[in-house]
Amino acid sequence: MTTVAPGTGTHAPSVGTAHTRVEGRDKVTGAARYAGEVPFAGLAYGWLVLSTVARGRIRALDTDPVLAMPGVLAVLDHRNAPRVDTDYTGLLGTPPDPTCAVFQHDRVPHLGWPVALVVAETSEQAREAAETLVVHYEQEPHDIDFTGGRPDAYPVDGHMPGVTEKGDLDAALVSSAVVVDAEYTTPEEHHNPMEPHAATARWDGGRLEVIDSNQGATWVVGELANLFSLDPASVRVRSEHVGGGFGSKGVRAHQVAAVMAATVLQRPVRVVMTRRQMFSLAGYRSPTAQRVRLGADADGRLRALEHRSVSVTSTVHEFVEPSAGVARVMYDADAHHTANRVVRLDVPTPTWMRAPGEAPGSFALEAALDELAEKCGIDPIELRLRNEPDKGPVSGLPFAGRNLAACFREGARRFGWADRDPRPGLRRDGRWLLGTGTAAASFPSGAAPSTASATAHPDGTFTVRISAADIGTGARTALTLVAADALRVSVERVRVRIGDSDFGPAMIAGGSMGTRSWSWAVTAAAGELRERLALDTDMPPEGITVRSDTTAAIGALTPAERHSFGAQFAEVAVDTATGEVRVRRMLGVFAAGRIVNPLTARNQLRGGMIWGISMALHEEAVRDRASGGHVGADLAGYHVATHADVPRVEADWIDDADPADPVGIKGIGEIGIVGAAAAVANAVWHATGVRHRGLPIRPDRVL
Ligand code: MOS
């Protein structure tokens, strides 16, 4: 355990040595309870009924036969469900997704829209009744056809501008010695965590309590308080263990339906999504169609850069997959244009999915850079080094640390890049063609205000409380190491409690900002407690508690381009008989701030890289034009990389402590997937000489 004081600028390379998850034993022995497992006396079970048409109106619901079935307690639908208030701006600066505000009207905007909740004494009875419920629709024609060329695509200003334009693009392209103009597509992708979305709601002495699987209890409290017009102090959300989130676990139909049913029945009600329901209720990554135009001098220096992306949103809510945003950070040019546009279709609203924007955006941009390197006859790494910007290409702000070049140099050395023959289609191993590829990665580094408390107990132990969410990343363990570091005591003396909104407001596990935001608050509370203990000699029986709030400190951060960066490397083998692409090895080297707990950090980065393999080669949700729904909406039909697809994936980092952060953290939540698919695609080109600009690179497309 290192005992370096925060804020001195002399950070140890990492916080803590490799530490297994503090709750690991609970998880593998089953002692850890997930939201769908917590026992309650008198618990009733709700089962969601989803629409089977992609557009139209509910004409009738035959609820009487269902209400007569064994154990059935209620059927909630648009005629009898409690009204909710959707006229507010939520924590994330947007109005609520109406998909969460269930049963408010008879309109059906997409297939899989919640139309009713059947509540019964047992889960089996609820399911049986839900499957028996007959719903009559007035069906209308639907439109789910996504193409990049749709004339109805429009730019949206959200948390980032839809369009940025600097310089005369056409003139810069005309005067360029080398031009790349290519279109890239990525399909609809789903995050589907292992633990399905689940919530149990109950009224307890005038307070609403929800046991839930989410990425931030503060967030869920805020949304439920708004929707049900409640004082936030009268809502408590607990989420001690969460089996994966990836952006999908915010406020969704199940929590709202559970609260409605608990209110109507005045008893605890649990609603769990099925795996199939998750495909329409849990959000997903929009398909994208991206056009990248690059113009460069013969030496590879960019004169023109255009990155335009079109993605999908629903007819009820605006969500933009901001794929062109990555170009605003990565490369500069005299003429620099980016645009994120959306088209409204009769599909569910997409949402954040790990590295929203950067994941598909880096596929297009970094593949285009590879094409430019080929055309210029310049090594792809050298091309990127020649185009390292000295300030934010669009913002003009300085970079608060970039270190991308160092990642490439270290990665190239370890991967053995120097010996690479750049010519494609030359290397063979039996019937396999071999190739290597590289790509750059970046993801914003941010911090958001959080509160924490730290308590010193008379027995020499400490309890830290923060409403953080451990969605499987190892956040609880990371915060234990951070707290021990700040308290300068051994890890064994520290207990960190998370996942309870009563611990006070805190950042969500999202935007790669969780660990940094929470560590800031934990360090502040623990540091102040340590100072207090140095002064106070008398310890009261209840111990001494200190609280922190980082709102002012984070608000005082100077504006800068703050990001984590990385260099991805992949080696692939392409089967010339079957078209199968196999990744043989991957390496990612990241400049991502000071690393907390090297064991779980490496897992987090590798998980992202493996997801990049999956994105490159396997993942693709296919919609059936006739029904508007998915073909194979389950984990058999939706292919993901499994162990046999992932031979050797190494993730490492360079020293990159952020001086603006009390612990030196930048954030590693999402950067692992960024650039990974491009590195694989670039390696497939190097192996075969064929550019694949549409993902996934399936065997039938390779042949
Ligand atoms: Mo992440 S996509 O912000 O959970």
What is the rounded distance in angstroms from the CA atom of residue 625 to the CA atom of residue 634? 18
What is the rounded distance in angstroms from the CA atom of residue 213 to the CA atom of residue 470? 10
> Which of 604, 509, 639 lies closest to 217 in space, CA to CA?
509
**Quick check: is 539 in a domain?**
yes
Atom of ligand 1 nearest to the CA of 352: 2
Tell how far CA 564 is from the center of its chain.
Answer: 15
What is the rounded distance in angstroms from the CA atom of residue 430 to the CA atom of residue 425? 13
What is the rounded distance in angstroms from the CA atom of residue 302 to the CA atom of residue 300? 6
**Quick check: is 74 in a domain?**
no
Q: Which among 189, 209, 561, 670 is annotated as catalytic?
A: 670
Residue whose entry in the numeric block shows the structure tokens 């980032």: 160
320 close to 352: Cβ distance less than 8 angstroms: no
Q: How many angstroms does the Cα of residue 509 sit away from the middle of ligand 1? A: 7
67 close to 121: Cβ distance less than 8 angstroms: no
Structure tokens at 43: 């618990």
Over the chain (703 residues), the average pLDDT of each successive run of 10 is 37 82 96 94 97 98 98 98 94 83 97 98 98 98 95 88 96 98 98 96 96 97 97 97 97 97 98 97 98 98 98 96 97 98 97 97 98 98 98 97 97 97 97 98 97 97 98 97 97 97 98 98 98 88 97 96 98 97 98 97 97 98 96 93 94 96 97 98 98 98 92
**Quick check: is 20 in a domain?**
yes
Structure tokens at 67: 């209400």
Q: How many angstroms does the Cα of residue 497 sit away from the middle of ligand 1? A: 22
Atom of ligand 1 nearest to the CA of 191: 2
**Residue 140 annotated among the catalytic residues of the structure:** no
Residue range 104-157, pLDDT digits in tens: 999 999 999 999 999 999 999 999 999 999 999 999 999 999 998 999 999 988
Helix axes 358-376, 598-617, angle to 10 degrees: 70
655 close to 649: Cβ distance less than 8 angstroms: no
Output the pLDDT for position 6: 36
Sign of the dihedral through C-alpha 599, 604, 606, 610: positive
Q: How many angstroms does the Cα of residue 407 sit away from the middle of ligand 1? A: 24
Query: Which runs of E-coded beta strand occur in 121-262?
Result: 134-139, 154-155, 163-166, 178-186, 198-204, 207-212, 235-238
Length of the chain: 703
Structure tokens at 297: 């001098």
H/E segment holding residue 548: strand 544-549
Q: How many angstroms does the Cα of residue 247 sit away from the middle of ligand 1? A: 4
Sign of the dihedral through C-alpha 83, 89, 90, 95: positive
> Which of 297, 290, 376 lies closest to 333 in space, CA to CA?
297
What is the rounded distance in angstroms from the CA atom of residue 520 to the CA atom of residue 528? 12
> Which of 413, 464, 433 lies closest to 654 in space, CA to CA?
413
Atom of ligand 1 nearest to the CA of 509: 4
Label residue 356 left, alpha or beta by phi (over 0 means left) and psi (-120 to 50 means alpha): beta
Q: What CATH number did the domain enclosing 465 receive?
A: 3.30.365.10
Q: How many domains does the structure of the chain reveal?
A: 1
Count Cβ atoms below 10 Å from residue 528 Cβ, excluding itself: 15
What is the rounded distance in angstroms from the CA atom of residue 596 to the CA atom of residue 252? 31
Output the pLDDT for position 90: 82
> Which of 122, 118, 112 lies closest to 61 in space, CA to CA?
118
Count Cβ atoms below 10 Å from residue 152 Cβ, excluding itself: 10
User: Does residue 173 sit in helix, strand or coil?
Assistant: helix
Residue 688, φ and ψ in degrees, nearest 5: -110, -20
What is the rounded distance in angstroms from the CA atom of residue 534 to the CA atom of residue 5? 15
Residue 432, φ and ψ in degrees, nearest 5: -95, 135
Q: How many angstroms does the Cα of residue 511 sit away from the middle of ligand 1? A: 5
CA angle 337, 341, 342 (to 5 degrees): 170
619 close to 640: Cβ distance less than 8 angstroms: yes
Q: How many angstroms does the Cα of residue 425 sit away from the middle of ligand 1? A: 38
What is the rounded distance in angstroms from the CA atom of residue 31 to the CA atom of residue 471? 17
**Quick check: is 517 in a domain?**
yes
Query: Which runs of E-coded beta strand occur in 95-162?
Result: 107-108, 114-120, 134-139, 154-155
What is the rounded distance in angstroms from the CA atom of residue 149 to the CA atom of residue 658? 42
For 164, 330, 365, 486, the CA distances from 161, given in Å and listed in that order, are: 7, 17, 18, 39
State the pTM of this model: 0.96
Name every residue whose Cβ is closer than 8 Å to that of residue 544 and which is 6 or more positions away in sequence.
455, 456, 529, 532, 533, 536
353 close to 283: Cβ distance less than 8 angstroms: yes
**Quick check: is 486 in a domain?**
yes
Output the pLDDT for position 11: 59
What is the rounded distance in angstroms from the CA atom of residue 339 to the CA atom of residue 163? 4
* Burial group, residue 431, by CB count within 10 angstroms (0-12, 13-18, 19+): exposed
Q: How many angstroms does the Cα of residue 353 sit away from the middle of ligand 1? A: 6
Count Cβ atoms below 10 Å from residue 700 Cβ, excluding itself: 7
What is the rounded distance in angstroms from the CA atom of residue 350 to the CA atom of residue 335? 31
Return the DSSP state at 251: S
For 181, 204, 295, the CA distances from 291, given in Å and listed in that order, are: 7, 54, 13
467 close to 505: Cβ distance less than 8 angstroms: yes
Question: Rg of the chain over CA atoms, in angstroms?
Answer: 26
Best residue among 214, 470, 611, 670 to mutate for probing ligand 1's pocket (most ligand atoms within 8 Å of CB) is 670
Name every residue whose Cβ is closer than 8 Å to that of residue 147 and which is 6 or more positions away in sequence.
289
For 245, 359, 560, 598, 661, the CA distances from 519, given in Å and listed in that order, are: 20, 26, 21, 16, 10
Per-residue burial over 193-205, b = 16 or more CB atoms within 10 Å of its CB, e = otherwise: bebbbbbbbbbee
> Which of 448, 464, 635, 618 lies closest to 543 in space, CA to CA?
464
User: Does residue 261 sit in helix, strand or coil?
Assistant: helix
Range of the domain at 543: 14-32+449-549
Tell how far CA 157 is from the center of its chain.
Answer: 20
Q: How many angstroms does the Cα of residue 558 sit away from the middle of ligand 1? A: 24
Q: β-strands 302-313, 288-296: how paired?
A: antiparallel
Atom of ligand 1 nearest to the CA of 351: 2
Atom of ligand 1 nearest to the CA of 670: 1
- Do you find a cis peptide bond into 696, omega within 30 degrees of 0? yes
- In DSSP terms, 302 is beta-bridged to 296
CA nearest ligand 1 atom 4, residue:
247
Atom of ligand 1 nearest to the CA of 354: 2
Structure tokens at 637: 């039909």
Residue whose entry in the numeric block shows the structure tokens 């034993």: 25
Structure tokens at 384: 């990127």
What residues flank ligand 1, with Cβ below 6 Å? 215, 245-247, 352-354, 356, 510-511
Structure tokens at 180: 């790349």
Structure tokens at 349: 């609203």
**Quick check: is 464 in a domain?**
yes
H/E segment holding residue 103: none
Q: How many angstroms does the Cα of residue 92 sit away from the middle of ligand 1? A: 12
User: Does residue 421 sit in helix, strand or coil?
Assistant: coil
Best residue among 320, 354, 513 to mutate for probing ligand 1's pocket (most ligand atoms within 8 Å of CB) is 354
